[in-house]
Amino acid sequence: MAVVKARKSDIDLLARLLRAEAEGEGKLGMLLVGNVGINRIRANCSDFKGLRTIPQMVFQPHAFEATTKGYFYQAARESERRLARKAVNGERYWPAKYSLWYFRPEGNCPSTWYNQPLVARYKLHCFYEPTGEECSNVYSTF
């Protein structure tokens, strides 16, 4: 059962984001990106207040490099659509299970990102989850 509303076009959009942001990280890496995106919609906090839909999350200004740097053009494939549906249905995996931020640094992962603690690195991406009451929604069960 979906934890956020998603039409077919939303699944395609999320699948394109997964591919553009983390294709080189394999299936789990792409799913982790999906986890962060869905967490942002569900959390409704911090920089993500007011995000209610997948298109709002994907095209939030300055949120994802892929949407602004030109490698978001690739069509969704069925393999990425399956991963997008898993994320929309609430399948969450560590280290992105509760993460709201990730990025790909040149070197080591900083211990904090936007004042939030590092959870762990998965391949090239570092994942960060919120602390404090403001973003406690991300820790709720479905």
Q: Per residue in 37-65, pLDDT tens?
A: 999 999 999 999 999 999 999 999 989 98
For the chain, what percent of residues have pLDDT higher than 90? 82
CATH architecture for the domain at 8-139: Orthogonal Bundle (1.10)
* Spatial separation of the C-alpha atoms in residues 71 and 20, rounded to whole Å: 6
Does the structure show a pLDDT above 80 at 119? Answer: yes
- Dmax over CA atoms of the chain, in Å, equals 38
Write out pLDDT tens, residues 75-89: 889 999 999 999 999
Where are the domains positioned within the chain? 8-139
Task: Kindly tell me if the per-residue pLDDT of 70 is higher than 80.
Answer: no
Q: Where are the alpha helices (DSSP H) in 23-129?
A: 26-43, 54-58, 78-88
19: enclosing H helix or E strand: helix 8-22
Q: What is the reported pLDDT for 73?
A: 84
Q: Residue 63's CB: how many other CB atoms inside 10 A?
A: 20
Query: In 3D, which of 103, 109, 128 has the Cα closest to residue 46?
Result: 128
* Run of H or E including 72: none
pLDDT in tens, 1-35: 799 999 999 999 999 999 999 999 999 999 999 99
At 97, the amino acid letter reads: K
Measure the CA–CA gap between 51 and 9, rounded to whole angstroms: 17
Give me the mean pLDDT over the 92-97 stretch: 97
Phi-psi group of 87: left, alpha or beta (phi > 0 → left; psi -120 to 50 → alpha; rest → beta): alpha
**97-123 mean pLDDT:** 95
